[in-house]
């Protein structure tokens, strides 16, 4: 019975994602310390399917920013952080270092307070959120702090996207840190779902999809 159920889940996911995509997504999830795979997490399967159409333009942006990205990936690798996190600028700012959001700015879309908390100067004449090197160093400090606070990389990303307080409340409410449980919560912010889904799909495509790696000669 167990094998029949597994086969059904596999076929169901392959209806949404090709087999090589499923494998790549699972490798990305493993890098984030998720104990659950795509096959075990229907809510994630459906959430990712909702955002898969947004990946093509982000991937095209990746293709013209590979030189800048490699510098960021090197910093993250040196800090012991999974390459997933180096791709956050694509989902947050479309890798535009000068972009401004609602109270946020730069590649990493730091708010003024968060930027200052992690060592950036934010003044009228010197906004280091717009400096790729400085803001990336601050993002590394912030992500390492979140990993220490929440205990796993996928929770660190959730906290990055929705804020620490919001994530703590959702975890406390559900009595669980499981990815599948948290994503089902109706108060899980839609913006955080979009952030996580886009970054996960892009990470899977760039770092774990066999065909893409072969195209780059890896």
pLDDT at site 215: 54
Which residue matches tokens 């072969």? 214
Supply the range of the domain harboring residue 17: 2-215
pLDDT at site 41: 83
pLDDT at site 216: 52
pLDDT at site 8: 43
Closest CA to 161 of 111, 202, 205: 111
**Domain with 199 in it: what CATH number?**
1.10.530.10
Alpha helices, DSSP H only, in the chain? 2-16, 19-31, 42-51, 55-63, 66-78, 88-93, 112-117, 132-150, 153-162, 164-174, 179-184, 190-203, 210-215
Provide the β-strand partners of residue 111.
104
Q: What does each of the 218 residues of the chain score in pLDDT, given as a tens digit?
A: 444 444 444 444 444 577 889 999 999 999 999 999 988 888 998 999 999 999 999 999 999 999 999 999 999 999 999 999 999 999 999 999 999 988 999 999 999 999 999 999 999 899 999 999 999 999 999 999 999 999 999 999 999 999 999 999 999 999 999 999 999 999 999 999 999 999 999 999 999 987 655 555 55
Q: pTM here?
A: 0.88
Angstrom distance (rounded) from CA 200 to CA 210: 16
Q: Please give the full DSSP string across 16-76, using - where no structure is assigned.
A: HS-HHHHHHHHHHHHHTT-S--GGG-HHHHHHHHHHGGGHHHHHHHHHTSHHHHHHHHHHH
pLDDT at site 30: 97
The answer to whether the beta carbons of residues 129 and 101 sit under 8 Å apart is no
pLDDT at site 183: 95
What is the number of structural domains in the chain?
1
Distance separating the N- and C-terminal Cα atoms of the chain: 40
């Amino acid at each position: 019975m167990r094998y029949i159920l597994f086969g059904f889940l596999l076929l169901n996911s392959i209806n949404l994602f090709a087999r090589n995509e499923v494998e790549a997504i699972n490798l990305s999830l493993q890098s984030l310390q998720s104990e659950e795979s795509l096959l075990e997490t229907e809510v994630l399967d459906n959430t990712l399917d909702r955002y898969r159409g947004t990946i093509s333009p982000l991937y095209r942006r990746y293709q013209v920013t590979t030189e800048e990205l490699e510098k960021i990936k090197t910093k993250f690798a040196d800090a012991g952080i999974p390459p997933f996190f180096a791709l956050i600028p694509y989902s947050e700012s479309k890798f535009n270092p000068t972009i401004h959001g609602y109270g946020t700015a730069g590649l990493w879309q730091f708010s003024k307070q968060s930027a200052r908390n992690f060592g950036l100067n934010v003044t009228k004449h010197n906004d280091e959120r717009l400096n790729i090197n400085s803001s990336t160093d601050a993002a590394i400090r912030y992500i390492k702090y979140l990993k220490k606070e929440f205990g796993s990389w996928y929770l660190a990303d959730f906290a990055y996207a929705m804020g620490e307080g919001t994530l703590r409340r959702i975890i406390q409410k559900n009595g669980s840190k499981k990815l599948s449980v948290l994503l089902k919560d109706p108060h899980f912010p839609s913006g955080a779902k979009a952030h996580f889904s886009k970054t996960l799909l892009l990470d899977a495509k760039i770092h774990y999809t066999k065909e893409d790696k072969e195209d780059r000669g890896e």
